[in-house]
Amino acid sequence: MQIIQPHYHAIARTAQDYERMAMSGVVAVAEPAFWAGFDRLYPETFLDYFRQISEFEPTRAAQYGIRHFSWVAVNPKEAENPTLTREVLKHFPEFFAKPTVLGVGETGLHKSTKNECESLEAHVEIAMKHDQLVLIHTPHLADKAHGTKRVLEVLAGMNVNRERIWIDHVEEQTIRPCLDAGYWVGFTLYPITKCSPKRAVDMLEKYGTERILVNSSADWGPSDPFTLQECILEYRRRGHSLQEAIEVFHNNPCRFLGQNPKFDIRPIRVETATEAVATA
């Protein structure tokens, strides 16, 4: 089955992950800009990072037949340095011109501070101004519900195209308001700290499959790109058809990411070929 990993931090992963993903049907990954594990000090550090994910990483993925796309952002954890954020934002249009950059992300909130909210607003504003897609990170664990509410409040005060915004890391307590407001949502599958494959399938069964993306994120922390395949297995094991699985794990990413014409992978449909069986 063909699979798209819509949120994947490739620079933190090995070539073996690419190889195994390719062998398991992954045809494309999209890499949002991420936190490096420490707060960066210089705008140039971000620019080199953006070059890495928009220029170098596609060549590494291509060795395994995987298409690689990316996003640019200052991570919410680094939004407490507004001067740095402003300096980096000035360079976004250079990267919007790159052939594989799809938009702005992952922006969003971590502790939902004033600086974070202003950074989120500035990120969304520049994305809308340049007709880019937006990927929004919502906080983890204890801050999840409050942070997601704040994200929705910030967005509600802006002139945005909701169909072009993806609110990620939703869970059972946050999915409904995001979907009801007209945004795309993402489930992020992690071994322990975020959503599990089984819970993701529970939500697919409860809310349907429209405007929902599923990803493994897979970064430098405890994470596993194959939680996505685990989720597909769970989905199929509950009796959902191959086409239904393709709709969620391949076609939905095509529908959202394909709003940027650079993402040119199209939804697919499985058909049974009618062929005459040769007889001896």
Partner 1 sequence: MLSPTQVVEAYFLESRHQLLEIAAYLDRYDAAVARAGDRNGAAAADEKKLILIRRALEIVAEGKPARERTIALLELFATV
Q: Which residues bind partner 1 (CB under 8 A)?
A: 191-193, 196, 198-199, 202, 205-206
Q: Least CB distance from residue 193 to partner 1, whole Å?
A: 6
Q: Which residue, 20 or 140, has its beta carbon nearer to partner 1?
A: 140
DSSP line for 119-162: HHHHHHHHHHHTT-EEEEE---GGGHHHHHHHHHHHHHTS---G
Rg, C-alpha atoms of the chain: 19
Strands, sheet with 184-188, edge to edge from the N-terminal-most edge strand: 3-5, 26-31, 67-72, 101-108, 133-137, 165-167, 184-188, 212-215
* Six-digit token string for 279: 């007889």
Q: Least CB distance from residue 196 to partner 1, whole Å?
A: 6
Q: Which residue, 37 or 267, has its beta carbon nearer to partner 1?
A: 37
Q: Least CB distance from residue 206 to partner 1, whole Å?
A: 7
Q: Which residue, 192 or 280, has its beta carbon nearer to partner 1?
A: 192
Q: Least CB distance from residue 152 to partner 1, whole Å?
A: 23
Estimate to the nearest angstrom the gap between the alpha carbon of 226 and the chain centroid: 15
Q: Which residue, 202 or 244, has its beta carbon nearer to partner 1?
A: 202
Q: Least CB distance from residue 68 to partner 1, whole Å?
A: 30
Eight-class DSSP state of 10: G
Q: Which residue, 205 or 210, has its beta carbon nearer to partner 1?
A: 205
Q: Least CB distance from residue 219 to partner 1, whole Å?
A: 16
- Tell me the three state secondary structure of residue 259: coil
* Six-digit token string for 18: 């690419």
DSSP line for 60-105: HHHTTT-EEEEEE---GGGTT-HHHHHHHHTTHHHHHTSTTEEEEE
Q: Least CB distance from residue 241 to partner 1, whole Å?
A: 17
22 class by beta-carbon count within 10 Å (0-12 exposed, 13-18 middle, 19+ buried): middle
Q: Which residue, 141 or 273, has its beta carbon nearer to partner 1?
A: 141
Q: Which residue, 128 or 145, has its beta carbon nearer to partner 1?
A: 145
Q: Please state, in angstroms and rounded to a whole number, the distance separating the CA atoms of residues 99 and 102.
A: 8
Q: Which residue, 45 or 193, has its beta carbon nearer to partner 1?
A: 193
Q: Which of 63, 43, 52 is nearest to 9 (CA)?
A: 52
* Six-digit token string for 88: 């980096």
Q: Least CB distance from residue 190 to partner 1, whole Å?
A: 9
